């Protein structure tokens, strides 16, 4: 492992992240999901580790290897992801929500494969919990970082989301330019304003985000 951070700005800190999509089952062979490769979240987990943090990564279903010396917890649905996050959230210094959590899930999962017959079935959806907002609302919340995947008006939407969720830092992401690519177009929004990052590979961007987090963290 090359030392990209020297000294280690997150030494002695515990970081919890979510990454990847969630999968909300309709029946044993079908479900609702979001497009997300998990690459940005995994790159951030790696960058946090490089910066000296102890890292736990709660991952949705992805095709990626566990980053070196990162504890990975594999989950599928938003409810499972939330359970694992809440189990660890009280013990971490930083929480970074990178997962593309499905906003809705089918109210019930059919235990049998739904057969094609007559008219199309209606699938009733219910809202999933907002994992990031729940962590941010804890009595003693960790330093919370969100991602805002937007397809338009990145600035307005991302800053509004930061305020709504009550978090100090949000990373705005134009999805057309980032999805499935190894590069991304990101802008950081915090109390000091907006900071666009030059287009770069995700691991480079992850290191810059980690450097910003380390700067904003309360010294101990």
Residue 2: partners with Cβ closer than 8 Å, 6 or more residues away:
50
38: left (phi over 0), alpha (psi -120 to 50) or beta: left
Minimum Å gap between C-beta 7 and ligand CTP is 28
> Should residue 95 be labelled a site residue for ligand CTP when binding is judged by CB under 6 A?
no
| Min separation Cβ 190 and Ca ion, Å | 21
The partner in contact with residue 94, picked from Ca ion, ligand CTP, none with C-beta cut-offs of 5 to 8 angstroms by kind, is none
Q: Is 131 annotated as a binding residue?
A: yes
Residue 131 binding ligand CTP, by CB under 6 A: yes
E strand or H helix that includes residue 26: strand 23-27
The footprint of Ca ion on residues 136-175 (CB under 5 A) is: none
Beta carbons of 185 and 148 less than 8 angstroms apart = no
For residue 130, say whether it is annotated as part of any ligand binding site. Answer: yes
Q: Which of 103, 134, 150, 204 binds Ca ion (CB under 5 A)?
A: 103
Which one-letter DSSP state was computed for residue 205? H
Respond yes or no on whether the N-terminal peptide bond of residue 7 is cis (omega within 30° of 0).
yes
Residue 102 in tokens: 């499905």
* Residue 127: φ, ψ to 5°: -75, 140
The residues annotated with a catalytic role in the active site are 34
209 marked among binding-site residues: no
C-alpha to C-alpha distance for 114 and 128, rounded to whole angstroms: 23
The reply, when asked if residue 203 is annotated as ligand binding, is no
User: For residues 55 and 101, which CB has a smaller minimum distance to ligand CTP in the complex?
Assistant: 101
Best CA proximity match to 132, nearest among 74, 186, 171: 171
Residues numbered 141 to 170 that lie near ligand CTP (CB under 6 A) are: 146-149, 161
Residue 99's binding partner out of Ca ion, ligand CTP, none, with CB under 5 to 8 Å set by partner kind? ligand CTP
Look at residue 22 and give the partner it binds from Ca ion, ligand CTP, none, a contact being a CB closer than 5 to 8 Å depending on partner kind: none
Provide the annotated binding site for CTP.
103, 113, 129-132, 147, 161, 165
List contacts with Ca ion (CB under 5 A): 103
């Amino acid at each position: 492992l090359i030392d990209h951070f020297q000294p280690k700005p997150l030494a002695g800190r515990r970081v919890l992240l979510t990454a990847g999509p969630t999968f909300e089952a309709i029946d044993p062979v079908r479900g609702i999901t979001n497009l997300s490769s998990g690459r940005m979240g995994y790159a951030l987990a790696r960058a946090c580790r490089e910066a000296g943090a102890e890292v736990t990564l709660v991952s949705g279903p992805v095709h990626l290897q566990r980053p070196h010396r990162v504890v990975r917890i594999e989950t599928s649905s938003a409810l499972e992801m939330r359970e694992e996050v809440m189990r660890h959230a009280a013990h971490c210094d930083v929480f970074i929500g990178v997962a593309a959590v499905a906003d809705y899930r089918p109210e019930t999962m059919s235990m049998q494969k739904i057969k094609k017959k007559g008219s199309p079935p209606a699938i009733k959806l219910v809202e999933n919990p907002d994992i990031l907002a729940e962590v941010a609302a804890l009595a003693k919340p960790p330093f919370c970082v969100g991602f805002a995947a937007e397809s338009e008006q990145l600035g307005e939407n991302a800053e509004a989301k930061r305020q709504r969720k009550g978090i100090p830092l949000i990373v705005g992401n134009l999805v057309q330019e980032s999805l499935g690519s190894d590069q991304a177009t990101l802008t950081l929004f915090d109390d000091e304003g907006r900071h666009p990052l030059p287009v770069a590979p995700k691991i480079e961007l992850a290191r810059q985000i980690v450097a910003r987090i380390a700067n904003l963290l309360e010294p101990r």
